[in-house]
């Protein structure tokens, strides 16, 4: 019996969770992430069911000198939660949620998705709300470690700003409790790094404590206002001017893609859509929308519902599922949407090889730009107005080059107006990616990483200390899209 087999047997016997190998139904479920383009097969998937399981899996991977990556919700845009031939530590069984009513804090194990958290909060903690993701199947650990924008971030800051404690298993298998005032300076440094320094870099987050917030009203206003894309120059410019002046309680995301024509729903038309979410009374939100309503949208739907319900309603639209996808991002500053940028969007969307591709942008600012206190993690783009995300989505795997090159060129056409990129939309073809994601905090993040993980056990192609840089000469080298490890 080989050393590998003996080690796997010993691991399997010691777990309260279990090991699954290629061919088992559970294995297929774990390697299905929200991007059909990446289905990278690990040798072993460990479904951990305790902190001890996490430490044992790290020891197992180290003993066999196998790479190990961690899967939370399986939404890494580049599939970096998976790897070929190594170990995937899957946290999906660890979903416990508990509320401390006095402090209004929620402790959540890191296998939970936002759907789990919202379900719990609406049953147990109403009217309190967490600062969480708009897509319900997203897991907490990657979202929160990258910063995490929510529909209420303009009211309450990034998701990471509401994290008050993190339990993390480090590369040596030690469980560490990270807080802003932890006795050990190394733990305080890690607490800083894990709230904006990106998932998969510093250790395995197994539990986080989230501060909940009391919304301004029992329900929020949410919905969509749609305009024909041919009116983009007028309407996006008007939207931009309006969005720059709305109160923090109003967030208004933008979307450009193809939407059903209300007069003929089987037909899809090129559309610019505003997705408003107002943290307050419905009628007050409608009042704030008047300037955009005067621009005669062809379709308006406005709902009044509790925030978690709205998140469930809106979040479904962005899923990739089994289709192929490639994601790019950029951060737009105070100049907002200038005319040539709007033209670039119209032009690129007119040439999209796939009708399913779209762009969406997050409305930043507000509380994101002035978080409470001075201990708020390394997320560098707080002063920016929008976070732009391009989702190229197509069906046929053979369409990879035409769709990726289109998306790449689209991003390059806007690159002069981008001030960095967003690590939660991690992009293997992003030029100077480490500086784009982390800005001036890169050097400190590398130092924290070296201290917490001196052998570089936690690694992937775009880990915080990775030397990788894509080759952007033509024809584009697409190989970085097909691997997760360097």
> Which domain CATH number covers 60?
3.30.43.10
* 469 and 348 both lie in a single domain: no
* 272 and 257 both lie in a single domain: yes
How far the first Cα of the chain sits from its last, in Å, is 31
Torsion angle of alpha carbons 277, 283, 284, 288, nearest 10°?
Answer: 70
Boundary of a domain, candidates 68, 90, 112: 90
Residue 16 belongs to some domain of the structure: yes
Boundary of a domain, candidates 190, 211, 232: 211
pLDDT recorded at residue 316: 67
* 425 and 288 both lie in a single domain: yes
DSSP lists the bridge partners of residue 277 as 222, 251
pLDDT recorded at residue 279: 97
Going by C-alpha positions, the residue among 171, 147, 48 that lies closest to residue 459 is: 171
* 362 and 417 both lie in a single domain: yes
* 377 and 472 both lie in a single domain: no
* 74 and 139 both lie in a single domain: no
Q: Are 354 and 399 in contact (CB under 8 A)?
A: yes
pLDDT recorded at residue 317: 67
Rounded-to-integer distance, Cα 134 and Cα 285, Å: 19
Show pLDDT as tens, one digit a residue, over the chain (486 residues): 688 899 999 999 999 999 998 988 889 888 888 787 877 899 999 999 999 999 999 999 999 999 999 999 988 989 999 999 999 999 999 999 999 999 999 999 999 999 999 999 989 988 899 999 988 889 999 999 999 999 999 999 999 999 999 999 999 999 999 999 999 999 999 999 999 999 999 999 999 999 999 999 999 999 999 999 999 999 999 999 999 999 999 999 999 999 999 999 999 999 999 999 999 999 999 999 999 999 999 999 999 999 988 888 877 666 777 889 999 999 999 999 999 999 999 999 999 999 999 999 999 999 999 998 888 999 999 999 999 999 999 999 999 999 999 999 999 999 999 999 999 999 999 999 999 999 999 999 999 999 999 999 999 999 999 999 999 999 999 999 999 998
Per DSSP (E only), the strands in 146-197 are 163-169, 175-178
Q: Are 76 and 142 in contact (CB under 8 A)?
A: yes
Boundary of a domain, candidates 178, 211, 244: 211
* 342 and 396 both lie in a single domain: yes
Tell me the C-alpha to C-alpha distance, in Å, between residue 158 and each of 266, 366, 442.
38, 10, 19
* CA angle, residues 36, 433, 66, in degrees to nearest 5: 60
Rounded-to-integer distance, Cα 255 and Cα 103, Å: 37
* 106 and 158 both lie in a single domain: yes
Residue 440 belongs to some domain of the structure: no
Instruction: Supply 348's token pair.
Output: 């690129």
The range of the structural domain enclosing residue 78 comes to 3-90
Tell me the C-alpha to C-alpha distance, in Å, between residue 99 and each of 96, 122, 179, 211.
10, 12, 18, 10
């Amino acid at each position: 019996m080989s050393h590998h087999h003996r080690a796997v047997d010993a691991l399997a016997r010691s777990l309260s969770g279990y090991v699954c190998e290629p061919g088992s139904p559970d294995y297929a479920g774990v390697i299905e992430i929200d991007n059909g383009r990446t289905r990278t097969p690990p040798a072993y998937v460990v479904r951990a069911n305790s902190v001890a399981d996490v430490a044992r899996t790290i020891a197992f991977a180290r003993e066999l000198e196998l790479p190990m990556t961690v899967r939370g919700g399986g939404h890494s845009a580049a599939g970096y939660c998976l790897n070929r031939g190594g170990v995937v530590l899957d946290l999906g069984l660890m979903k416990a949620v508990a509320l401390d009513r006095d402090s209004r804090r929620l402790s959540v194990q890191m296998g939970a998705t936002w759907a789990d958290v919202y379900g719990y909060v609406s049953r147990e903690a109403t009217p309190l709300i967490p600062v969480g993701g708009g897509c319900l199947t997203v897991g907490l650990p990657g979202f929160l470690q990258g910063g995490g924008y929510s529909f209420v971030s303009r009211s309450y800051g990034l998701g990471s700003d509401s994290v008050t404690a993190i339990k993390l298993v480090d590369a040596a298998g030690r469980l560490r409790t990270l807080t802003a005032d932890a006795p050990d300076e190394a733990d305080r440094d890690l607490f800083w790094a894990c709230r904006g320094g990106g998932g998969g870099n510093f250790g395995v987050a197994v539990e986080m404590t989230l501060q909940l917030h009391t919304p301004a009203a029992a329900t929020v206003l949410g919905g969509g206002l749609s305009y024909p894309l041919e009116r983009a120059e007028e309407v996006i410019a008007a939207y931009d001017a309006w969005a720059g002046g709305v109160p923090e309680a109003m967030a208004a995301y933008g979307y450009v893609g193809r939407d059903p024509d209300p007069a003929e729903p089987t037909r899809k038309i090129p559309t610019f859509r505003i997705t408003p979410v107002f943290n307050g009374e419905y009628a007050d939100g409608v009042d704030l929308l008047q300037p955009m309503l005067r621009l005669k949208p062809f379709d308006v739907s406005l709902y009044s519902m509790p925030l978690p319900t709205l998140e469930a309603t809106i979040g479904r639209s962005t899923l990739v599922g089994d289709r192929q996808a490639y994601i790019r991002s950029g951060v737009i500053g105070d100049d907002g949407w200038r005319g040539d940028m709007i033209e670039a969007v119209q032009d690129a969307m007119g040439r999209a090889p796939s009708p399913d591709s779209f762009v969406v942008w997050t409305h930043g600012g507000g509380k994101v730009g002035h978080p409470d206190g001075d201990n708020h993690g390394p997320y560098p783009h707080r002063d920016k107005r929008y976070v732009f995300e391009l989702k190229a989505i197509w069906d046929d795997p053979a369409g990879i080059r035409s769709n990726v090159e289109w998306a790449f060129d689209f991003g390059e056409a806007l690159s002069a107006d981008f001030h960095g990129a967003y690590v939660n939309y991690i992009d293997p073809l992003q030029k100077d990616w480490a500086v784009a994601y982390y800005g001036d905090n890169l050097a400190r993040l590398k130092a924290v990483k070296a201290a917490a993980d001196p052998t570089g056990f936690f690694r992937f192609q775009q880990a915080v200390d990775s030397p990788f840089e894509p080759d952007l000469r033509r024809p584009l080298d697409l190989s970085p899209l097909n691997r997760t490890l360097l």
